[in-house]
Amino acid sequence: MLDDTFPEKLETNSNETQLQAREKLLHLFKNNNLPAEELMTSLGLFIRGSALVKYLVLNDLYTRILKTPGTIIEFGTCWGQNLILFENLRAIYEPFNKTRKIVGFDTFTGYPVGDDNDKNGDVFKEGNYKLEDDYEDFLKDLLNTHVECNVLGNNKSIHEVIKGDVSETVREYFQNNPSELISLAYFDMGLYKPTKVALEEVLKHTVPGSIILLDQLTWSDAPGEALAFKEVFKDVKYEIEISKFTPMRSIITLL
C-alpha cells in the first residue's frame, strides 16, 4: 500500500484537483464493500488511466516479441507487477511456449547512490523504493502462484527474481546463462551506472527484432538513463519510437 512518502507520489505530474481525486479513489478503494474474490476480478473499478496505460504498453511490447525467441527481463522490478503481467500475457498469447523465461532484477532495498551522471532529486534519493524485508520471496511466491493459475502452467524454475545491485548482479547472471537470448529488456532503474552495465550485457544476447524499453529516456529528472543509452548505442543499429500509449516510454527495436 502506498504511504505518504512512497516515491510514486513524488513522480506525479498531476495538479491539485487530480491529486484530490486520487485520494478520493484511494478512499473508495479502501472502503469498498465488494467480497474479496469479486474485488480481485473487478480491479478495473479502481484503476486509473495512468495505471491502465502501463498494461497497454506491456501488451504492445509482448505482441512485438511473439516471433522473437528469448527471455523477457526487467531491470528495476520494484513490486513486480510487470513480471506478473508478463507471465499472464505469456499464458494468453503463447501458452505452449514454455521457454519464455521471465526474469526481474531489483535491489529491493531501493535506489543505491547515483553518480555524477544522475540528478539527486527527491525521487532518486538513496533507499527510495525500499520494500519490506523478504519482499522478493513474496514476489517469487506470487509469480509461481500465477504460473499455477494459468492454463498449461509453466515450469516454475523458468522465472527468476534476482536481488542486488544490477551493476553487479547482471554480469553474474549472464555468466551463469551464457547461451541465453533476450527478446525484451525493460529498463526502469533510471540511474546511469546500472543502466549502462545492463545495456552492455543485454546487447551481447539480443537478436534482430529484440526490444529494449526505456522507461525514462525523456525524463529530465533521470538523465542517467539517456546518457547510458547514448553511450552504449553509439554504434548499434536500431529503430526508436515513442510508445503510442505514453510519450514517457521509448521502444527500441534492434535491427
Ligand X SMILES: C[S@@+](CC[C@H](N)C(=O)[O-])C[C@H]1O[C@@H](n2cnc3c(N)ncnc32)[C@H](O)[C@@H]1O
Q: Decide: is 104 part of the binding site for ligand X (CB under 6 A).
A: no
Q: Decide: is 86 part of the binding site for ligand X (CB under 6 A).
A: no
Q: Decide: is 192 part of the binding site for ligand X (CB under 6 A).
A: no
Sheet containing 102-106: which strands, arranged edge to edge? 159-163, 102-106, 71-75, 182-187, 206-214, 250-254, 238-242
Q: Decide: is 105 part of the binding site for ligand X (CB under 6 A).
A: yes
Q: Output 70 or 76, the one with its CB closest to ligand X.
A: 76
Number of residues that bind ligand X (CB under 6 A): 20
Q: Output 144 or 167, the one with its CB closest to ligand X.
A: 167
Beta carbons of 147 and 156 less than 8 angstroms apart: yes
Beta carbons of 118 and 191 less than 8 angstroms apart: yes
Q: Candidates 39-47, 56-64, 87-95, 161-169: pick the segment binding ligand X (CB under 6 A).
A: 161-169
Instruction: Give burial (CB, 10 Å; 0-12/13-18/19+) of 250.
Output: buried
Site string for ligand X, 24-63 (x = CB under 6 A): ----------------------------------------
Instruction: Give burial (CB, 10 Å; 0-12/13-18/19+) of 119.
Output: middle
Q: Candidates 18-26, 44-52, 76-84, 175-183: pick the segment binding ligand X (CB under 6 A).
A: 76-84
For the chain, the first-to-last Cα distance in angstroms comes to: 41
Q: Decide: is 94 part of the binding site for ligand X (CB under 6 A).
A: no
Residue 34's nearest CA partner among 21, 25, 24, 43 is 43
Q: What residues make contact with ligand X under the rule CB under 6 A?
A: 76-79, 81-82, 105-107, 110-112, 129, 165-167, 188-189, 191, 194
